[in-house]
Structure 1
Amino acid sequence: MNLRNVLLPLAAVGLPGFGFAAYGWAGVLAVVGAMVMWGLLHFTRLVAVMKKTARRPMGYVGSAVMLNARLRKGVDMMHVLALTQALGEMLSAADAQPEVYRWTDASQSHVTCEFRHGKLVSWVLFRPQDGNASPPPAAP
């Protein structure tokens, strides 16, 4: 079980209670205002990333090598989309775990990423040795 699924609802209930105990109704309004602002900031980031990804071809990245260097285990899908500024080419079946996506650059180098429950668990960089090399077959 993900601890975040328990702590966020507890914080959403507990923080206004703490605000009321400390400062009365003004504390509740300040805490609720801060929680709304936090939600709006995350929503704004989500919309900005999705606008950028809508303008680029699916599965394309400027440099697969640079993407490979910037990836880290445990980052979420939104972070990877912000790095690539494009939706990945889905290689796995829909609604199946793990989810496998691929981003390819102009030199036919590509990065294949594996996500479990929205978090990056592994990735592989493929670089063709010569201009005639073909990429390996897609993951099942």
Structure 2
Amino acid sequence: MNFQKILVPLAGVAIVVLAYRTYDWAGVAAVATGLVMWVLLHFTRMMQVLKRAANRPIGYVDSAVMLNAKLKPGMTLMHVVAMTRALGQLLSPKDTQPEIFRWGDAGESHVTCTFVGGKLTHHELFRPAQDAAPPAP
């Protein structure tokens, strides 16, 4: 179970109650203002990431190898979309867990990422075989 979905609202309510007990309604107003600002900052970041991603082809990244090097388990889908500046190509059925996305580059390399609950659990790089023989000395 994702405790973050429960703990964050509970922490917000606890801070509001503490502010009321300490500073009365002026404290509630100050804390509520801070919480609204925090929500607006996250919303603004999400909109900026999606606005940048809207201008690129789905599933395209400049370098799949560099993306693979930057990925770490536990990253959110939003963070990966912000890094690639493109939405991933959905490979799994819609609205099922785990979600599998792919980002590819012009050299036919691609990175396949598996997300469970919006967090990266596994990523794999595929590079096409080089058909050309090494140059002779």
TM-score normalised by L of structure 2: 0.92
Aligned to 1:22: 22
Q: Which runs of 4+ in 1 moved over 4 A?
A: none
Cα deviations by residue, 1:76-116 (Å, 9 ceiling, x for unpaired): 11001001100111111111211111000011110000011
Matching residue of 2:37: 37
Partner-residue secondary structure (3-state), 1:113: strand
Q: After TM superposition, give the deviation of residue 61 of structure 1 in Å.
A: 0.2
Q: Distance in 2 between matches of 1:53 and 1:46?
A: 11
Q: CA deviation at 1:5?
A: 2.1
Q: How many residues align?
A: 132
Q: Which runs of 5+ in 1 are unaligned?
A: 133-140
Give me the whole-angstrom Cα distance separating, in 1, the residues matched to 2:14 and 2:58. Answer: 42
Residues 33-86 of structure 1, C-alpha deviations (whole Å, 9 max, x = no match): 110000000000000000000000000001101100111101111001001100
* Structure 1 equivalent of residue 62 of structure 2: 62
Once residues 6 and 59 of structure 2 are traced to their aligned partners in structure 1, the CA distance between those partners, rounded to angstroms, is 35
2:99 is matched with 99
Residue 49 of structure 1 corresponds to: 49
Instruction: Identify the residue that residue 13 of structure 1 maps to in structure 2.
Output: 13
Letter of the structure 1 residue corresponding to residue 113 of structure 2: C
Closer/same/farther in 2, CA of residues 34 and 56 from structure 1, 3 Å limit:
same
Rounded Cα–Cα distance in structure 2 between residues aligned with 1:113 and 1:106: 18
Consecutive unaligned residues of structure 2, counting only runs of 5 or more, are 133-137
Q: CA-atom RMSD, angstroms?
A: 1.3
1:128 maps to what in 2? Answer: 128
Deviates further, 7-16 or 62-71: 7-16
The normalised TM-score by structure 1 is 0.90
Q: CA deviation at 1:129?
A: 2.1
Larger Rg: 2
- 1:9 partner SS: helix
